[in-house]
Amino acid sequence: MTTQTTNERPSNGRRALPRKLWVGVALAAVVAVIAAGVGLWYVLIGPSGPAAVDSAPPVIPSNTVAAPASLDGTWNVVDNLGSMDDGSATFAGYRVQEQLVGIGGHTAVGRTPGVTGSLILSGSKVTQVSVTVDMTRLASDDSFRDGQLQHQAIETNKFPTSTFETTQVIDLGSVPADGHTIAVDATGRLTLHGVTRTVTVSLQARRVGGIIAVTGSLPIVFSDWSIQRPTSFSVLSVDDHGTMEFHLLFVHA
């Protein structure tokens, strides 16, 4: 008896794909869907952003600087110590809540290491503080957002810097002890988006050796600074307020 082998064909006349090929195609499709989902999550949400500066005391970098013979005198902001990744470097920035299309709530955090300034310490008193922030170097987890801020909201193309200068002496209560953290308020003139207002900022300060680290944050209502909320096709809404925050490292001049 002769056995005749025939190739099965679907009813439409086309040759059926081998079973192994079908399995391979299915697995590839599943992998593609998972990869796309993970990619979309990372782009729009990504890993958790940096923690707010008011959630922990100032961070002293691992770099060591010897304490000066006298703490009195001028201390300058430095940007060559610490790391932006662990929050131990000098930076200033913003924190704003936004609603993203298809995602929901997301906290936008942008920071710039471009900070210069100084403070003058006399005994247990800070007699003067002056700080200038380069707003054009603000960077977040989204380069598109960063580009939009050049001509929307804080408009860094028009207002490339922000400044703060104290108008009152800051009384620390005692000479800063090595390793101790103190909480004080600083009152002064803040210039943001071309508008100058008197504000009081809550600060935490800590000295280790020859480094003084200072953190602070201030609620910012956009309308107080003539800031218009930004718009984007990928953003449903942005809060009408945010937070200015900073972590500054000072060393003795």
On whether residue 8 sits in a domain, the answer given is no
List C-alpha distances in Å: 31 to 17, 38, 40, 47, 54. 20, 11, 14, 21, 41
CA distance 222 to 80: 32
On whether residue 6 sits in a domain, the answer given is no
If asked whether residues 35 and 154 sit together in one domain, one would say no
List C-alpha distances in Å: 179 to 70, 170, 199. 16, 20, 28
Q: What is the DSSP letter of 178?
A: B
If asked whether residues 155 and 234 sit together in one domain, one would say yes
On whether residue 1 sits in a domain, the answer given is no
Reading the block at residue 219, the tokens are: 């609620």
If asked whether residues 58 and 33 sit together in one domain, one would say no
Residue 76: give its domain's CATH number. 2.40.128.110
If asked whether residues 32 and 136 sit together in one domain, one would say no
The whole-model pTM stands at 0.78
On whether residue 171 sits in a domain, the answer given is yes
- Write down the mean pLDDT value for the chain: 83
If asked whether residues 86 and 138 sit together in one domain, one would say yes
CA distance 59 to 67: 17
CA distance 233 to 144: 11
On whether residue 212 sits in a domain, the answer given is yes
CA distance 51 to 215: 13
Chain segment 43-55, per-residue pLDDT in tens: 334 445 688 887 6
On whether residue 9 sits in a domain, the answer given is no
For the segment 13-21, the average pLDDT, to the nearest whole number, is 53
For 108, the domain range is: 51-252
Reading the block at residue 197, the tokens are: 């207002």
On whether residue 82 sits in a domain, the answer given is yes
Q: Is a pLDDT exceeding 60 seen at residue 38?
A: no
Give the pLDDT confidence score for residue 247 in this predicted structure.
Answer: 97
CA distance 198 to 165: 10
User: Is-contact 57 206, C-beta < 8 A?
Assistant: yes
Chain segment 205-224, per-residue pLDDT in tens: 999 999 999 999 999 999 99
Give the pLDDT confidence score for residue 102 in this predicted structure.
Answer: 53
If asked whether residues 113 and 236 sit together in one domain, one would say yes
Top pLDDT among 40 and 155 is at 155
* Number of domains the chain contains: 2
If asked whether residues 40 and 96 sit together in one domain, one would say no
If asked whether residues 193 and 97 sit together in one domain, one would say yes
If asked whether residues 133 and 210 sit together in one domain, one would say yes
If asked whether residues 183 and 70 sit together in one domain, one would say yes
Give the pLDDT confidence score for residue 198 in this predicted structure.
Answer: 98
**Nearest to residue 111, comparing CAs of 88, 77, 81?**
88
Chain segment 76-85, per-residue pLDDT in tens: 999 999 999 8
Chain segment 118-163, per-residue pLDDT in tens: 999 999 999 999 999 999 999 998 898 899 899 999 999 999 999 9
User: Is-contact 250 89, C-beta < 8 A?
Assistant: no
If asked whether residues 182 and 205 sit together in one domain, one would say yes
If asked whether residues 39 and 147 sit together in one domain, one would say no
